[in-house]
Amino acid sequence: MKYGLALTLLLWTLLLVAVGWQRSAKAAGVALRPQDTPEQAVRSLLHSVRERNLPKAQAQLANADQVDSSAFVYDLAGGDGSLRTYSNLEDSEVSLLHQEADDALVRVKLNWSTAVGSLSDTRDLKVVRQANGWKVFWPVSQVPKLPAQVMAVNYLRWDVVNRGPEGEWGTASIDPPKVRIISMNAIERSDSVIVMGEVVNEDTIPAYLNVNAALVDANGLEFRNEGSFDKVSHILLPSQVTPYRIDFPKVRLNQLKQVRMDANVAAVPASADPVIGVMNQRLEKDALGNKVLAGELVNQSGQTVNIAHVLATCYDNNGKVIWVSDEYVDRALLPMTPQPFAADLPADVAARVQRFRVMVSQYTRGAS
C-alpha cells in the first residue's frame, strides 16, 4: 500500500516538474518543438537571432542551402558601420496571418535596441511544412555589391583654421553664424505640449545648432525648459532650413502663457558632401496600418554613409508647421543604392497634411 502511494506521489511530482519546465520554457520564448506550428518555427528562429547565433538561425531555414550566409548576416546583423551593426534584438511580436495545409504567412514585429532608442521592423515571413515540421522560408537576397567606377567630387567645404587649444570646436574667436527661428507652433497632444517650427541659417558659414524652449506661466516664471535633442539638424549649411521639435511631457497648454525660444549657435567646419537625394516621397500605410511618410534615400556621393537621420516637416494648407517626425535608417547608404525609409505620422496629422519636406542628416565614420 505504502509503495503504491509513494509511486503515485513520484509520478505526480514528475508530471508537475514537466509542466513547470514547459511553462518556464514558453515564458522564456523558447519553443519546445519548433516544428509544431508556424508561430513556433518563427519564434525558434528569432531566439537564435536574439542570441546572435546566426549560423544556427540559418540552419533552421527551409531554404538554408539557397540563402547566402553573408547576405543573411547583413540582413539581420547589419554591416558597413550601419546602426543595425550596433543593435540587438530586444523582443518580437509574432502573429499568424494565414495558414493552409503546407504553408503559412506569419507577421513578426522586430524591436531592436540601439544607441538612439528602440527601432521596429515589421516583416511578413512565409513558413512551409516539411518532413520534419514547419520551417521559415527566408527571402533570398545578396549583399549589395557596387561595380568599380570613378565619381567626380565637386562640393563646397568650410574649414575652421586657428582653432586654438580646444581643437576643432574651439571657435570662441569667431562670431557665431546668424540663424533665425522663422516659425514656432505649440500644440497639445495627449498629456504633452509639443513645440515645433523651423530655423534658417542666414549666414555664409555653417552653424552648429541647438534649439531650446522655455515654458512661461501666468506669473511670468519659467517652469519647464527643454532642448530639441535629435529632432533637429545640428549642422546647418548656409541658407539651409531645418525643422525642430521639442516635447514637454505631462504639461497642458492651459498651464503656460508664453514660450521663449533660444537658438545656441557656433561656427564649425562642414561640407556639402555627401549629397543624399530623397526620392518618391509619399503618404501611405505601413504593414500595421499606420500612416507613414515613405520614400527612398539615394547617396549621390562615392562614400558610404553609415547612419542617416530623416527629418520630415509637415505643413497644413496655410503653410504652418503642424508636425515634425524623425526616423533613423538602420542600414548604411551605399553610393547610388536606394534605401527605403518610413517616418511615422499621427493619423489626424496625416489627414491635414498638404505639403511636406524631407531633409537628411548623416554620420560618416572618420569624417570631421
Q: Which domains does the chain have, with CATH numbers?
A: 28-137 (3.10.450.100), 157-270 (2.60.40.10), 273-363 (2.60.40.10)
Residue 278 has pLDDT above 80, yes or no: yes
> 211 to each of 69, 244, 259, 321, how far by Cα in Å?
45, 7, 13, 16
- In a 3-state reduction of DSSP, which class is residue 299? strand
Q: In degrees to the nearest 10, what's the CA dihedral of 19, 25, 30, 32?
A: -30
- Report d(CA 224, CA 226) in Å as an integer: 7
Minimal CA–CA distance to 43: which of 91, 99, 113?
A: 91
Cis ω on the peptide bond leading into residue 340 (within 30° of 0)? no
Look up the pTM and report it.
0.83
DSSP H/E element including 339: strand 339-344
Q: What is the pLDDT of residues 120-135, one digit of tens each?
A: 999 999 999 998 899 9
- Report d(CA 137, CA 106) in Å as an integer: 11
- In a 3-state reduction of DSSP, which class is residue 250? coil
Q: What is the pLDDT of residues 59-115, one digit of tens each?
A: 999 999 999 999 999 999 999 999 999 999 999 999 999 999 999 999 999 999 998
DSSP classification of residue 302: S
Cross-strand bridge partners of residue 283? 293
Question: What mean pLDDT comes out for the span 311-334?
Answer: 96
